[in-house]
Amino acid sequence: MAQSLRWMAAALLATALIACQRRELATPAIPESTAQTARDQAGDASTSSVLSPSDLPTSGLRLNVPKASLRALADATFRRGRLDMVEHQIRARDVRDPRVLEAMRRVPRHEFVPREFRRYSYVDSPLEIGHEQTISQPYIVALMTELLRMKPEDRVLEIGTGSGYQAAVLSVLVKEVYTIEIVEPLAKRAESDLRRLGYDNVHVLCGDGYRGWPDKAPFDGVIVTAAPETIPQPLMDQLKTGGRLVIPVGPRFDQELVVVNKTERGPFRETVIPVRFVPMVGEVQKERPAK
């Protein structure tokens, strides 16, 4: 009898272990602390009103927010998470530009996140978007946008459209955004999402961003969301004097976020923080030193 009970206990334990393994395989690769934050935010959001006066754009700030994008903000499921993202992940750190903070409040990140990861849209983490690419961590999007120091009349070149989220944030702050994506399915999906949400001042090109977009140059700012090991010279050439380039530079596990200010006396380079972006691919790979 005792031996039979031991066999039954062993069988039940094995069944439980298999069930746990299946659950782990089916769960998105999101840290438990991040998942808990998302669950907390979703719970809080269920009791929130759709929009409150504090959610409305701050008076005096010039932002080109399309109506379709504003309608997407009416989803109460994500309201609390979006506002907490700006307050606790971005403003509480070191991003202070009020226009950038307002842009982060006004652009619905969840609309650029694949449906299976949408519940994590406003946690402080990059998320997979397919084709071995990611949508950047919200703090990094805000930081890079602030480092550009853009004005409403400016034109910006972005290399690495990805999900289209960074381009959408830029589009409410500047006159025109020109963005290039080398992965065709991502370029098509981003363009579709940007059109659907009303970001009509974003122009998407599918191609290799190494040489920029010469026909639309020069640009007041250039932002790169994939990391080359050295700064592509064509991007510097297409930057106006007085403009700024924000770019991650370095090999996969040793990258730094760099700002280059192009002046009449030449470029001035400043290193900001260590970062980790997907590597830039395409023609830029020809410049990588032999191992």
Residue ranges in the chain whose pLDDT is less than 50: 2, 4-5, 7-59, 291
pLDDT value of position 14: 43
- What lies within 8 Å, CB to CB, of 18 at 6+ separation is none
Q: Catalytic: which of 69, 136, 163, 171?
A: 136
How high is the pLDDT of residue 194?
98
Q: What is the pLDDT of residues 166-206, one digit of tens each?
A: 999 999 999 999 999 999 999 999 999 999 999 999 999 99
Q: Find the angle CA(146)-CA(280)-CA(133) to the nearest 5 degrees.
A: 80
Q: What are the φ and ψ backbone dihedral angles of 108, each rounded to 5 degrees? A: -80, 95
Active-site residue flag, 33:
no
* 138: exposed, middle or buried (Cβ count in 10 Å: 0-12, 13-18, 19+): buried
| Residue 12 DSSP label | H
The whole-angstrom separation of Cα 103 and Cα 198 is 15
Q: What's the pLDDT at 39?
A: 42
Q: What's the pLDDT score for residue 253?
A: 86
Q: What is the DSSP string of 85-104?
A: IIIIIIITTT---HHHHHHH
Give the homologous superfamily in CATH for domain 40-287.
Answer: Vaccinia Virus protein VP39 (3.40.50.150)
pLDDT digits (tens, 9 = 90+) for 77-112: 999 999 999 999 999 999 999 999 999 999 999 999
- Answer whether 0.85 is exceeded by the pTM: no
| Domain residue ranges of the chain, discontinuous segments joined by + | 40-287
